């Protein structure tokens, strides 16, 4: 066999995304490396795996679809060897496929993954970011083994282990009239322009906070990117509602943001670990869950101001 499992992994990523660019973003490998791997496989197998569309990505050929199916099975079998050896030898080792909510990943994954692989040097973490719907789909397709996400409409076939509750708060620019208030009620916000974090299920969660009080927010702009929303708010376009609180109060352009407590009682977003119920937990997944429970709690969250710490800091 004159090709490697890694080359197969690059091919699988390109086949699943239909794009060298998207495959590069998913598996954090350079585009030239993925293109080279695909070209090598095509030469070795003497087949054309993709049809290249100028500026429109890739589409699998009929033989490419068959090779993709077999490649996925081969990689899964190879990864199963790590699990088998780990279970038999009582060791924690092998690759872990981790999904993470896109709004949580920049804060949680770097410290959490580094600490885990430091504690268990024979492990590797491969992670992908996505919204709630994408993460659930990834678990069902066995593209990921476990996902760090919120308890938003968790389906019956998914097991969810809660870690920490994040109450909602208001985020405004430093010079906004609401910035110096101790707390803001939902009714105080309805006439203010709102910048909405427009992700599946997340947007429904934020809008439901208003609906619960019979109110309708004035949404003037939307973005699926958390940092775009933060920067728009920092530049005075309006306020937003968030649950996560990064340790930095600066937007990406350096302008300062102010967090204001949301008065009343509101359903928090709960960070937790999701996995498919029908799959037995490997020793690796069990170790990672234990690691997450130790690193994510009311008292400490990687990259964020934890709720317990926040409650002790006077305004």
Q: For the residues 287-296, what does the mean pLDDT come to?
A: 93
* Structure confidence by residue, pLDDT tens digits, 254-267: 999 999 999 999 99
- pLDDT value for 161: 96
| Sequence-ordered list of residues with C-beta below 8 angstroms from that of 110, at least 6 positions apart, any chain | 302, 303
* Structure confidence by residue, pLDDT tens digits, 194-230: 999 999 999 999 999 999 999 999 999 999 999 999 9
Considering the chain, tell me which residue range(s) the CATH 3.40.190.10 domain(s) occupy.
91-165+270-312, 168-267
Assigned superfamily of 91-165+270-312:
Periplasmic binding protein-like II (3.40.190.10)
Closest CA to 140 of 125, 127, 154: 154
DSSP the chain: --S-HHHHHHHHHHHHHT-HHHHHHHHT--HHHHHHHHHHHHHHHTS--EEEETTTEEEE-HHHHHHHHHHHHHHHHHHHHHHHHHHHHT---EEEEEEEETTTHHHHHHHHHHHHHHHSTTEEEEEEEE-HHHHHHHHHTTS-SEEEEE-SS--TTEEEEEEEEE--EEEEETTSTTTT-SEE-GGGTTTSEEEEE--TTHHHHHHHHHHTTT---EEEEEES-HHHHHHHHHTTS-BEEES--BS--B-TTS-BEEEEEEPS--PPEEEEEEEETTSPPPHHHHHHHHHHHHH-SSS--TTB--HHHHHHS--
- pLDDT value for 84: 63
Considering the chain, tell me which residue range(s) the CATH 1.10.10.10 domain(s) occupy.
5-71
Burial degree of 230 (CB within 10 A; 0-12, 13-18, 19+): buried
b/e map 125-144, b = 16+ CB within 10 Å: bebbbbbbebbbebbeeebb
* Structure confidence by residue, pLDDT tens digits, 72-83: 888 877 776 666
Strands 146-150 and 94-101: parallel
CATH architecture of 168-267: 3-Layer(aba) Sandwich (3.40)
Mean pLDDT, the chain, integer: 90
CATH topology of domain 5-71: Arc Repressor Mutant, subunit A (1.10.10)
Phi-psi region of 235 (alpha: psi -120 to 50; beta: other; left: phi over 0): alpha
- Adjacent-strand bridge partners of 130: 101
- pLDDT value for 156: 94
* Structure confidence by residue, pLDDT tens digits, 104-149: 999 999 999 999 999 999 899 999 999 999 999 999 988 899 999 9
Structure tokens at 295: 């690193």
Task: Give this prediction's pTM.
Answer: 0.71
Q: Are 207 and 165 in contact (CB under 8 A)?
A: no
C-alpha separations of 81 from 89, 91, 122, 217, 287 in Å: 12, 13, 13, 53, 18
């Amino acid at each position: 066999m004159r090709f490697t499992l890694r080359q197969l992994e690059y091919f699988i990523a390109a086949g699943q995304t239909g794009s060298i660019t998207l495959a590069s973003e998913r598996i954090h490998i350079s585009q030239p490396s993925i293109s080279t791997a695909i070209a090598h496989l095509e030469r070795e197998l003497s087949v054309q795996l993709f049809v290249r569309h100028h500026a429109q990505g890739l589409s699998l050929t009929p033989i490419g679809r068959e090779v993709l199916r077999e490649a996925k099975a081969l990689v899964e079998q190879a990864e199963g060897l790590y699990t088998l050896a780990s279970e038999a030898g009582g060791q924690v080792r092998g690759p872990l496929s981790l999904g993470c909510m896109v709004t949580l990943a920049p804060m949680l994954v770097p410290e959490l993954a580094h600490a885990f692989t430091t504690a268990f040097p024979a492990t590797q973490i491969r992670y992908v970011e996505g919204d709630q719907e994408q993460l659930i789909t990834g678990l069902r397709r066995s593209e990921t083994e476990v996902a760090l996400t919120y308890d938003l409409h968790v389906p019956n076939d998914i097991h969810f282990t809660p870690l920490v509750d994040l109450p909602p708060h208001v985020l405004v620019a430093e010079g906004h009239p609401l910035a110096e208030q101790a707390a803001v009620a939902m009714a105080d916000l309805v006439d203010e322009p709102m910048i909405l974090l427009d992700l599946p299920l997340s947007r429904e969660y934020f809008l439901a906070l208003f609906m619960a009080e019979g109110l309708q927010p004035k949404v003037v702009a939307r973005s699926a990117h958390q940092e775009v929303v933060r920067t728009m708010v920092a530049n005075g376009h309006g306020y937003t509602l968030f649950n996560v609180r990064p340790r930095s109060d600066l937007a990406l352009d350096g302008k300062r943001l102010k967090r204001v407590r949301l008065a009343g009682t509101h359903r928090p977003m709960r960070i937790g670990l999701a996995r498919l119920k029908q799959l037995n937990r490997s020793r690796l997944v069990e170790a990672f869950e234990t690691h997450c429970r130790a690193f994510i709690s009311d008292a400490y969250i990687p990259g964020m101001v934890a709720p317990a710490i926040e409650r002790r800091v006077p305004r």
